Amino acid sequence: MKNLVTLLVFIILSKMVIAQKTPDKIYGQLFTDIQTSKVFSDNKTFVDCAPKRKPADIMYDYGLAKNANFNLKKFVEDNFNLPSAPPVNQQEHEKDVAKHISNLWGILKREADKIVVGSSLLPLPYPYIVPGGRFREIYYWDSYFTMLGLKESGEIVLIENMIDNFSFLINTYGHIPNGNRSYYLSRSQPPFFCLMVELLAGIKGDKVYKKYLPQMQKEYNYWMQGASTLKNETSFKSIIKLNDGTILNRYWDDLEIPRQEGYTEDVKVAEDAVTKKMMTMRFASQAAMNNFKTEQEKNIYKNLRAGACSGWDFSSRWFKEPDKISTIQILDIAPVDLNALMYKIETLLAKAYKITKQESQSRQMTTASNKRYLAIEKYFTSKDLNFYSDYNFKEKTTTNIATAAALYPLCFFSNSSQDILKKGNLAKAFIEKYLLKDGGLLSTPNLTGQQWDAPNGWAPQQWMAVKALENCNQKQLAKDIATRWIKLNTEVYLRTGKLMEKYNVTDTHLEAGGGEYAGQDGFGWTNGVLLALIKKYGPRE
């Protein structure tokens, strides 16, 4: 009976959330006026508002009330419930940071959602954890790292609830959106769903693979859409097909308009980029100039959105000129971390099909993972770095930019071969030359003002690096990175009472910076990775 009720809830929610429109479609000129006039310092504020009454009535009154003396901010406050951040700073600050994190889960937890007409929130049927701060919804790849800590806190039911929510999203939309907001539906994020299933299977056994196998396959299909029909040296959505028939993946977003949660930032980047190009060109007519401008803006928006899909929004690893976001070219890049994740998905699908005695499908996925392994070795090995790097398929060369993402393949490749020991030595040399700092690992060594560049380090990077180094028998360096990160997180917490989204790993007494918004406190994936690393290596005195 319980399963039947759950199924009915899923069906009802699926039908209702699919009908939800994005804020720009619901509020039209009101949306544009609010974002362009910077009523709120953060463009995410309005798109997270919930209307106090019917959107149609709000828009009717807006049309009547708007005049030269109109107070737009007051109109919004009168007609919308403004979003609020989780009150993490009201939580008692325990001296033991691990205990504080365990207490924080209740603050960051959200119960099953209710539908609010006119809200951008996509309601989920089960409880979940939000990251904190301006991030008031579930986030895809954040959640895997959050789950690492939930596991250490014994919150297994909550882990399963979150995986069930992601299954619901896959069943409803065919993929897991960036987050459960209507304005995130056009893209996903780094595909960690299968790793979440693996995490839960490590706790509850192989029956977990059987339960989630349909959703694992559906997500893989989403990322591989078009692979079977694509011609060589072309691309389609998330797929790139090289001249030898090799299939690689890239990050993708279906839309070519400014991100709603980063509207003014995107418009400015596009304006700067297009203006610079147009200054060096001559046009046959005004129409030709307008068409050029429109197409160039669309291209910038598509690349900015794909950058958001990557989770690394933003970083010089995506730029043609390291210090200019206007030169973003992520759509030309096959990222090493994404393709390593796709390799992992293929190996886990092979395992799941074997467990469920579907031998033919298991062999197919094993073949796919073997091809992916060879492709990573061939296309992602940088001679300049003597290690992995992203691959620019338009220029047919590695980007030769040192990033923490280069460690992803070593998280997933088999550790049973002698070759992995050689790769471990290369990883050690790469890390010590480019990324290792007092507080842990940098995202990249490039100082650009972007938040996914120096001097910043992020929890996911530390965890994946530790896993990679453990996998290739560089256990001392893995411990060193872990203990540096634990020390930094703990010292900042004791000094400020905060667990931050990102950290300055170069000067551990300064805050992290860069990006489109101020530092956020909470913080889901920081909490999760910190607890997991403390469990592995203990706090550093």
What residues act catalytically?
A: 313, 501
- Give the separation between CA 307 and CA 286, rounded to whole angstroms: 32
Residues 6 or more apart whose CB falls under 8 angstroms from that of 249 comprise: 223, 224, 238, 239, 240, 334, 335, 338, 339, 342
Yes or no: say if 328 and 307 are a contact pair by the CB < 8 Å rule. yes
For residues 206-238, one letter each, b for 16 or more C-beta atoms within 10 angstroms of the residue's C-beta and e for the rest, the string is eebbebbbebbbbbbebbbbebeebeeeebebb
User: Could you identify the residue written with the tokens 């890239």?
Assistant: 250
Yes or no: say if 269 and 326 are a contact pair by the CB < 8 Å rule. yes
What stretches of 389-519 adopt beta strand conformation (E)? 391-392, 397-398, 436-437, 440-441, 456-458, 502-504
Residues 6 or more apart whose CB falls under 8 angstroms from that of 203 comprise: 151, 156, 159
Helix (H, G, I), strand (E, B) or coil at 446: coil
> Which among 24, 5, 8 has a CA at the least distance from the CA of 181?
24
Burial bucket for residue 278 (CB in 10 Å: 0-12, 13-18, 19+): middle
Which tokens in the block code for residue 197?
A: 């299933």
As separate numbers, helices (DSSP H) first and strands (DSSP E) second, the chain gives 19, 16
For residues 448-478, one letter each, b for 16 or more C-beta atoms within 10 angstroms of the residue's C-beta and e for the rest, the string is bebbbbbbbbbbbbbbbbbbbbbbbebeebb
**Consecutive H or E run containing 240:** strand 239-241
Tell me the CA distances in angstroms from 459 to 120, 142, 146, 239, one per residue in order. Answer: 28, 10, 10, 28
Cβ count within 10 A of residue 244: 10
> Which among 439, 446, 447 has a CA at the least distance from the CA of 481?
439
Residues 6 or more apart whose CB falls under 8 angstroms from that of 226 comprise: 236, 237, 239
Yes or no: say if 390 and 336 are a contact pair by the CB < 8 Å rule. yes
Which tokens in the block code for residue 70?
A: 């109109």
> Which among 119, 146, 138 has a CA at the least distance from the CA of 53?
119
Upstream peptide bond of 314 is cis (omega within 30 degrees of 0): yes
DSSP calls for 293-359: HHHHHHHHHHHHHHHHHTS--S-GGGBSSTT-GGGB-GGGEE-HHHHHHHHHHHHHHHHHHHHTT-H
- Give the separation between CA 113 and CA 364, rounded to whole angstroms: 39
> Which among 231, 113, 118, 237 has a CA at the least distance from the CA of 179?
113
Tell me the CA distances in angstroms from 361 to 214, 365, 400, one per residue in order. Answer: 12, 6, 36
